[in-house]
Amino acid sequence: MGVMIEPFVDIVPSFFGTLAQGPLTLTIFLHTVIVLPMIWIYKQEKARLEQEGN
Amino acid sequence: MAKKSVWSDNRFWQRTAAWITGFASVLLIWLTFDTSGQIVMGNDADLQNGVTKRVPGPTVINYKITYEMDAKRKHEVPVIGEKEMFFGKDDWNEEEAAALLHLGKLASQTKNCMNCHTLLGNGAYYAPDLTKAWLDPAWQETGPMQAMTGKSTKEEAMAEFLQNPSKYPTHARMMPNLGITADEAKGLVAFLKHMSSIDTNGFPRNFGKIQGAVNGK
Amino acid sequence: MANSYLTSESKKLATWYFTFAAIIFGAQLLFGLVAAIQYVESSFLFEVLDFSVARMLHINALVVWMVFAMFGSVYWLLPDETGIETVGIGLGKLLFWIFAAAIVVVVLVYLFIQVGPANETSIWFIHEGREYIEAPRWADYGITVVALGFVANLYMTGMKGKQSGVVTVLMADMIAFAGLYLTGMFYTDNITIDQFWWWWVIHLWVEATWEVFVGSIAAYGLITMIGAHRKVVEMWLWIEVTMLFGSGILGIGHHYFWIGTPEYWWEIGALFSALEPLPLVAMFIHVLYDWGKMQGEQDAQGKEMSVITNKPAFTWFVLNAFGNFLGAGIWGFFHTLPQVNLYTHGTQFTSAHGHLAFFGAYATILVGMMYIGVQGKNGIKILNNTTSTIFATSMIVGGVLGMTVALTVAGYSDVIISRAQMGATWEGYFSAQTTTWLLQGMYWRLIMGAVTFIGFLFLVKDLLTIGKAANHVR
């Protein structure tokens, strides 16, 4: 386990409790899954703008 | 003509707004299910078998509750100990205890406690926080509040105070008479005892542990 | 309502909403003053109109006047944004009277019955005793019907007329706003579950849906008052929605630190809510940037005059942009991280934040909308300030800022003594209450509250008479 991954601290194990392994793991995970799909939206819109530009 | 940037395109931002709002909402709903499972009230069997619940069942009023440092979590948590008399008995069954808690919770709302006090830290700031009021040193055997009411147990002292608050003023700022009946007072004390057993992740810190005040003068 | 220049029924209805909102705003300030006096002199109205009752009226009036002014704002802008008269205006007028009558009944019951026995009847007919949403259960259903009627009108109009970005955002936002109220309409013996859902209403209103509403209104105001370009304004609006909902929805976690909910909310609440000030910074920059841009365009054409067509309203909109950032953003961030909130939770510090946030984020822009209503009703092209405008604005803003500072100072001793030093006990609480910092803080709060109230009287005078002043362009 080491220092980087902590044993479970919350009193009742749960899915989100399990993701909370040490400082900020859960919240960074949630931020990432929320923001990452913006890349896909960006690419789609870029393609659309390029098409319209022609 | 220079290419238009996606970053200044309305449609891009509209779709982003829709995605982020939608997905954040889905996550919140998912988290709500996860949390709901953890905060449902426990039952009498949990208490007898020593199963720790964040919100114990109503029969927790049959037990002694303390607020102790948890070695793993590094903050205080409520600890449910041995049996303890509550209004003369320590064998409140599930139905009786639930009925008492129900009455107390109803009273806490209908008497508008939350617009002077805080409960779990939420409410108004005109009167003390009630989260761990059951564990307050002032109400213990040696405490000034219990002595003032002339009662021999904490629960009776609290119930007496709730029925006649302006008879026992502790400060210029007094609690008004809210027409709380003897039954309602009993219910309210059960509600307070139950609330003190809820695992609030160590809020408030050091409750009743530190004596002596600093004076801001 | 004589001599009205308004031809749109929707706008006439909006002025009813604004009028009732202003009256309730006055009630909010009056009961706030009663509560403020009680902090200084606790025997004041003791067992006549106790703090709990005054405070309940203070915060309920706050919510109600804002909801009224929000409904009014939507009815005001709908004809402009959609290009048609609002659909279902008769229903809208009927619902206005039902809503207003219900509020009067609720207030009278609060005032004269105050508390009831511990049973469901009290919950149904007196109040529910849950901060901010105390309204009794019967009124909950009434409010739901009124809100659904309002949302129906918005949808019917939005779908029939031109559907601008502003209207699209409002449609999505207002249905969430109405729907969320439903999550606060139940009773449970489990106080943790009770507060969990209670925050769904309170937080998802004031830190998500209401903020998006403000973004929409600000967008409308920029287009109508300084002629900002719709495409730019609406792009900003979508960015604001992205950031407001992206941070605000899961930012609810900062209310789940200490109410019995799992520990993982510490990190969710901390990081998401820490981002909540970002959209507020964006809104502030947006308003000032557009203002500078439009004025610059006009200056370049050699016209030596302001681009603003409604000075008092625009002043309030700018105050909103700054006040939202300062009150909700800065004062909110002060205590949003769990390591800080552990000690500030449930203290006068919270109260300081509450005052500046509600005022900065909502009261300001809604007062601005009232001035827009006055301008339209009197058929004025450019509405200028009067002496009363200046007095009203500076006294209200100064008063609320003063109250906030006073409560923040009072909060120091509440936090340091009652929470940190003495562990939140009865003794700890009263030790904090009797310090010089808290006592003086409460005196200053009362003085500044009185200043705010005098400012409010100027505001009422101004709203009633500014239309007749001679210094406008008609």
Shortest Cα distance, chain B CAs vs residue C185, angstroms: 13
- Best mutation target among B203, B206, B210, B214 (most C Cβ atoms within 10 Å) is B203
pLDDT band at A52 (very low <50, low <70, confident <90, very high): confident
Low-confidence stretches of chain C (pLDDT beneath 70): 1-3
Query: CA angle, corner B137, sides to B131 and B140, nearest 5?
Result: 110
Backbone angles phi, psi at C422, to 5 degrees: -115, 10
- CA-to-CA distance for B161 and B159, rounded, in angstroms? 5
Is residue B127 one of the residues assigned to a domain? yes
Please give the tally of structural domains in chain B: 1
What pLDDT score was predicted for residue B212? 44
Answer yes or no: are the C-beta atoms of C258 and B200 closer than 8 Å: yes
- Per-residue pLDDT tens digits of chain B, which is 217 residues long: 457 889 999 999 999 999 999 999 999 999 999 999 999 999 999 999 988 999 999 999 999 999 999 988 889 999 999 999 999 999 999 999 999 999 999 999 999 999 999 999 999 999 999 999 999 999 998 888 999 999 999 999 999 999 999 899 888 999 999 999 999 999 999 999 999 999 999 999 988 775 544 433 3
Query: CA angle, corner A32, sides to C325 and B201, nearest 5?
Result: 70
Is residue B29 one of the residues assigned to a domain? no
Which residues of chain C does A31 touch, with a Cβ-Cβ cutoff of 8 Å? 271-272
**Nearest of B27, B18, B103 to residue B58 by alpha carbon:** B103
What pLDDT score was predicted for residue A32? 92
Q: Which two tokens stand for residue B1?
A: 């003509």
Answer yes or no: are the C-beta atoms of C113 and B112 closer than 8 Å: no
B208–C263 CB contact, under 8 Å: no
Which residues of chain C does B96 touch, with a Cβ-Cβ cutoff of 8 Å? none
pLDDT band at A4 (very low <50, low <70, confident <90, very high): low
Among A9, A11, A41, beta carbon nearest to B16 = A41
Shortest Cα distance, chain C CAs vs residue A10, angstroms: 6
C47-82 tens-digit pLDDT: 999 999 999 999 999 999 999 999 999 999 999 999
Domains of chain C: 1-187 (1.20.210.10)
Answer yes or no: are the C-beta atoms of C472 and C313 closer than 8 Å: no
What pLDDT score was predicted for residue B209? 73
Start-to-end Cα distance in chain A? 56
Is residue B141 one of the residues assigned to a domain? yes
* Residues forming beta bridges with residue C310, ordered by sequence position: C383
Higher per-residue confidence, A1 vs C271: C271
Answer yes or no: are the C-beta atoms of C244 and C205 closer than 8 Å: no
Which residues of chain C does A6 touch, with a Cβ-Cβ cutoff of 8 Å? none
Is residue B55 one of the residues assigned to a domain? yes
Domain with B159, as residue range(s), is 39-196
Is residue B185 one of the residues assigned to a domain? yes
Among C196, C413, C435, beta carbon nearest to B35 = C196
Q: Please name the residue of chain B whose CA is at the shortest distance from the CA of residue C427.
A: B138
Is residue B128 one of the residues assigned to a domain? yes
Report the b/e string of C285-311 with b at 16+ CB within 10 A. Answer: ebbeebbeebeeebeeeeeeeebbbbb
Is residue B5 one of the residues assigned to a domain? no
B partners (3+ CB pairs within 8 A) are: A, C
Read off the CATH number of the domain in which B57 is found: 1.10.760
Tell me the DSSP string of C3-62: T-----HHHHHHHHHHHHHHHHHHHHHHHHHHHHHHHH-TTTTTTTS-HHHHHHHHHHHH
What pLDDT score was predicted for residue B217? 31
C261–B112 CB contact, under 8 Å: no
Which residues of chain B does A30 touch, with a Cβ-Cβ cutoff of 8 Å? 27
Shortest Cα distance, chain C CAs vs residue A27, angstroms: 5
A16–C264 CB contact, under 8 Å: yes
B112–C193 CB contact, under 8 Å: no
- CA-to-CA distance for C169 and C102, rounded, in angstroms? 29
Which residues of chain C does B59 touch, with a Cβ-Cβ cutoff of 8 Å? none
Kind and range of the H or E element at C399? helix C387-413
Which residues of chain A does B27 touch, with a Cβ-Cβ cutoff of 8 Å? 30, 33-34
C9-22 tens-digit pLDDT: 999 999 999 999 99
Q: Which of the 8 DSSP states describes residue A4?
A: T
Shortest Cα distance, chain A CAs vs residue C259, angstroms: 15
What pLDDT score was predicted for residue C366? 98
